[in-house]
Amino acid sequence: MTQFPEDELSNLLADKLPEGHKSGYVALVGRPNVGKSTLLNTMLRQKIAIVSHRPQTTRIQQLGIVTEQDHQIVFVDTPGIMQKAMHKLDELMLENAVDALNDADVLIWLIDGTVPPNAEDANLAEMMTKARGKVILVINKNDQIPPEQVMEKTDAYRTLLPPETDWFFISASKQLGTEELYNHIVASLPEGPRYYPADQITQTFTRDIVAELIREQILLNIRDEIPHGTTVLIDSFNEQAKPIHIKANIFVERDSHKAIVIGAGGKMLKHIGANARREIEELIDEQVFLELWVKIAPKWRKREGQLKRFGYLPPDK
C-alpha cells in the first residue's frame, strides 16, 4: 500500500485510470470474533470498524475502500456467520454476511488459528466453494501459535477447501504477513473501473461510525450479555459548534441494564464517554463535546419497527 505522487492522484480524481486497472469487492467472512474488523482497519491503515473481544461486535456491513494508482479494493467487513439466529437482529446480520459472500470477487475466509474447525466452519467452507469469487484462506493470530503446531492447525482448515486454494498465515493485530496478503488480493482482482472516488475510504456516514465507537466502549467495559442488548443512536451532531457537540442515546432492553451502563454515581457512563470521545476526536481530528443518555427500548432486537428506527432495516422494508 504505497503513496502515489500528486500528479497521479490528480489523474485518479479525474477518472483517468491506467491501462489494466484492477478493482473489485473483497468480502471478509468467518466465524464471530476471528479478527475481521481488525484486519479491515489494518488494510486501511486507519480505524473505521470497531473491535472488541466479544463475538458479534460487527452488526452492519461496512465498506473499507483503498484506492491506489493501479487498483481499487472495496473491502466488505461482514458480521460473523453464526449457526443459529437468536432473534431478528441475528437474522439480518446473517443475511448481510451471506449476501456479501455471494457478491464478492474475492472471499477472505478469516479463521482463528488457535482453535480447531467445527461444524460452522465446514458449512461455511461449503458455501464459499459454491460462491463465484476466489477464495483465500487466511489463518489469523499466528503470533499465538507455537511453530511446531503451525502445520497441524493450518491443515485442519485447508482440508475443508479444494487443494489449490491459496492460504496465508498472519497476525492482523500485529500486522504480520498482512502486506503479502494485500499484494495477493490485488493480484487476484479482475480488471475494472473505480467504483468510488479516490479520496473516499468508506460508505458509512461519520455519525454512524461515531455511534459504533460509542458502542465499542460499551462492549469493552460492560460485562456479560448486556452489551449485546445495547445500540447507539446519534440524536444530534453539531459541526458548527466549537468543540463539535454530539448528543447520543444509548438504548438498552431493561431497567437493570440501564443502571449498570450508568454505574454508581454515573461513573461507568462517564468512563464510556471519555474513552469514546478520544476515539471520535482521533477519527474526525476535531475537539468534541460528547453528551450521552441511556434509554430503554424493551426487546428491540426482536421488533422490526425498532430495527428500522435504529437503522438495521430500511424504513420501507
Kindly report, residue by residue over 40-67, the tens digit of the pLDDT.
889 988 876 655 554 455 555 678 899 9
1 or 197: whose pLDDT is higher?
197
Give CA–CA dist 317/315, Å, rounded.
Answer: 6
Q: Give the fold, CATH level 3, of 6-188.
A: Rossmann fold (3.40.50)
The pLDDT assigned to 15 comes to 58
**CATH 3.30.300.20 domain span(s) along the chain:** 206-309
pLDDT band (50, 70, 90) for residue 30: confident
Select 206-309's CATH number: 3.40.50.180, 3.30.300.20, 3.40.50.150, 1.10.10.10.
Answer: 3.30.300.20
Location of each CATH 3.40.50.300 domain in the chain: 6-188
pLDDT the model gives residue 290: 97
Give the model confidence (pLDDT) of 241-269 as tens digits. Answer: 999 999 999 999 999 999 999 999 999 99
Query: pLDDT tens across 79-117, in order?
Result: 766 555 555 666 666 666 667 777 889 999 999 988 899
**Per-residue pLDDT band at 23 (split at 50, 70, 90):** very high
